[in-house]
Amino acid sequence: ANFSEQVVESFPSDLSTGIYCGWACVGNGDVHKMVLSIGWNPFYKNIKKSVETHIIHTFKDNFYGEILSIVITGYIRSEKNFSSLEALISAIQEDIEKAKRQLDLPEHLKLKDDNFFHLPEGKTVNH
Protein backbone atom coordinates (compact mmCIF):
# COMPACT_ATOMS: atom_id res chain seq x y z
CA ALA A 1 0.00 0.00 0.00
CA ASN A 2 1.59 3.24 -1.14
CA PHE A 3 0.82 6.61 0.36
CA SER A 4 0.00 9.56 -1.90
CA GLU A 5 2.57 12.30 -2.58
CA GLN A 6 0.59 14.64 -0.33
CA VAL A 7 0.82 12.20 2.59
CA VAL A 8 4.52 11.53 1.94
CA GLU A 9 5.22 15.28 2.01
CA SER A 10 3.49 15.51 5.41
CA PHE A 11 5.90 13.03 7.02
CA PRO A 12 8.51 14.70 9.27
CA SER A 13 11.40 15.87 7.08
CA ASP A 14 13.96 14.69 9.63
CA LEU A 15 12.69 11.09 9.52
CA SER A 16 15.56 9.00 8.15
CA THR A 17 15.01 7.01 5.00
CA GLY A 18 15.04 3.27 5.50
CA ILE A 19 12.98 0.30 6.54
CA TYR A 20 10.73 0.50 9.59
CA CYS A 21 8.25 -1.81 11.28
CA GLY A 22 5.00 -1.22 13.09
CA TRP A 23 1.28 -1.76 12.95
CA ALA A 24 -1.25 -1.11 10.18
CA CYS A 25 -5.01 -1.08 9.99
CA VAL A 26 -7.23 -0.76 6.91
CA GLY A 27 -10.49 1.05 7.67
CA ASN A 28 -11.93 -0.32 10.90
CA GLY A 29 -10.41 -3.74 10.26
CA ASP A 30 -7.95 -5.73 12.31
CA VAL A 31 -4.51 -4.39 13.16
CA HIS A 32 -1.64 -6.28 11.48
CA LYS A 33 2.13 -6.25 11.57
CA MET A 34 3.72 -4.18 8.80
CA VAL A 35 7.02 -3.20 7.24
CA LEU A 36 7.39 0.33 5.89
CA SER A 37 9.87 1.64 3.35
CA ILE A 38 10.56 5.37 3.40
CA GLY A 39 12.86 6.74 0.74
CA TRP A 40 13.89 6.93 -2.86
CA ASN A 41 13.97 3.22 -3.76
CA PRO A 42 17.37 3.46 -5.48
CA PHE A 43 16.90 0.11 -7.25
CA TYR A 44 13.98 1.66 -9.16
CA LYS A 45 15.68 5.06 -9.48
CA ASN A 46 12.70 6.96 -8.08
CA ILE A 47 12.88 10.72 -8.41
CA LYS A 48 10.27 11.29 -5.70
CA LYS A 49 10.40 10.09 -2.13
CA SER A 50 7.89 7.35 -1.42
CA VAL A 51 6.36 5.64 1.59
CA GLU A 52 5.34 2.05 0.90
CA THR A 53 3.58 -0.15 3.43
CA HIS A 54 3.75 -3.94 3.30
CA ILE A 55 1.06 -5.31 5.60
CA ILE A 56 2.00 -8.78 6.82
CA HIS A 57 -1.40 -10.28 6.12
CA THR A 58 -3.23 -11.71 3.12
CA PHE A 59 -6.39 -9.78 2.27
CA LYS A 60 -9.26 -11.33 0.31
CA ASP A 61 -9.88 -8.16 -1.68
CA ASN A 62 -7.96 -5.03 -2.65
CA PHE A 63 -8.53 -1.99 -0.49
CA TYR A 64 -8.11 0.96 -2.84
CA GLY A 65 -9.76 4.06 -1.40
CA GLU A 66 -9.73 2.76 2.17
CA ILE A 67 -8.17 4.65 5.07
CA LEU A 68 -4.79 3.16 6.00
CA SER A 69 -3.66 3.93 9.54
CA ILE A 70 -0.12 3.10 10.61
CA VAL A 71 2.01 3.36 13.74
CA ILE A 72 5.78 3.13 13.26
CA THR A 73 7.36 1.42 16.27
CA GLY A 74 10.87 0.48 15.16
CA TYR A 75 13.72 0.94 12.70
CA ILE A 76 15.10 -2.09 10.85
CA ARG A 77 17.80 -0.77 8.51
CA SER A 78 18.89 2.07 6.26
CA GLU A 79 17.85 2.35 2.63
CA LYS A 80 20.26 0.80 0.14
CA ASN A 81 20.57 -0.17 -3.50
CA PHE A 82 20.68 -3.75 -4.74
CA SER A 83 22.59 -5.37 -7.57
CA SER A 84 19.60 -7.46 -8.68
CA LEU A 85 15.88 -7.92 -8.22
CA GLU A 86 16.61 -11.23 -6.47
CA ALA A 87 18.82 -9.44 -3.90
CA LEU A 88 16.06 -6.88 -3.31
CA ILE A 89 13.44 -9.61 -2.82
CA SER A 90 15.75 -11.46 -0.43
CA ALA A 91 16.30 -8.30 1.64
CA ILE A 92 12.54 -7.66 1.77
CA GLN A 93 11.98 -11.20 3.08
CA GLU A 94 14.66 -10.64 5.76
CA ASP A 95 13.05 -7.31 6.69
CA ILE A 96 9.67 -9.03 7.11
CA GLU A 97 11.16 -11.72 9.37
CA LYS A 98 12.97 -9.10 11.50
CA ALA A 99 9.75 -7.07 11.75
CA LYS A 100 7.74 -10.10 12.88
CA ARG A 101 10.25 -10.83 15.67
CA GLN A 102 10.58 -7.19 16.74
CA LEU A 103 6.82 -6.63 16.83
CA ASP A 104 6.38 -9.59 19.17
CA LEU A 105 8.35 -7.72 21.84
CA PRO A 106 6.14 -6.28 24.63
CA GLU A 107 7.10 -2.65 23.94
CA HIS A 108 5.87 -3.00 20.34
CA LEU A 109 2.96 -5.34 21.01
CA LYS A 110 1.27 -2.91 23.42
CA LEU A 111 0.77 -0.38 20.58
CA LYS A 112 -1.29 -2.84 18.52
CA ASP A 113 -4.38 -2.09 20.60
CA ASP A 114 -3.97 1.70 20.65
CA ASN A 115 -7.18 3.75 20.25
CA PHE A 116 -5.53 5.43 17.26
CA PHE A 117 -6.65 2.46 15.15
CA HIS A 118 -10.35 2.91 15.92
CA LEU A 119 -12.07 5.34 13.57
CA PRO A 120 -14.49 7.74 15.29
CA GLU A 121 -18.13 6.72 15.38
CA GLY A 122 -19.93 7.81 12.21
CA LYS A 123 -16.71 8.02 10.17
CA THR A 124 -17.31 6.11 6.97
CA VAL A 125 -14.78 4.22 4.95
CA ASN A 126 -15.06 3.55 1.21
CA HIS A 127 -15.83 -0.07 0.36
**Active-site hit among 5, 9, 52, 107:** 52
52 among known catalytic residues: yes
Contacts 24+ apart (CB under 8 A), 114-118: 114/23, 114/71, 116/69, 116/71, 117/23, 117/25, 117/31, 117/69, 117/71, 118/28
Q: Which residues are catalytic?
A: 52
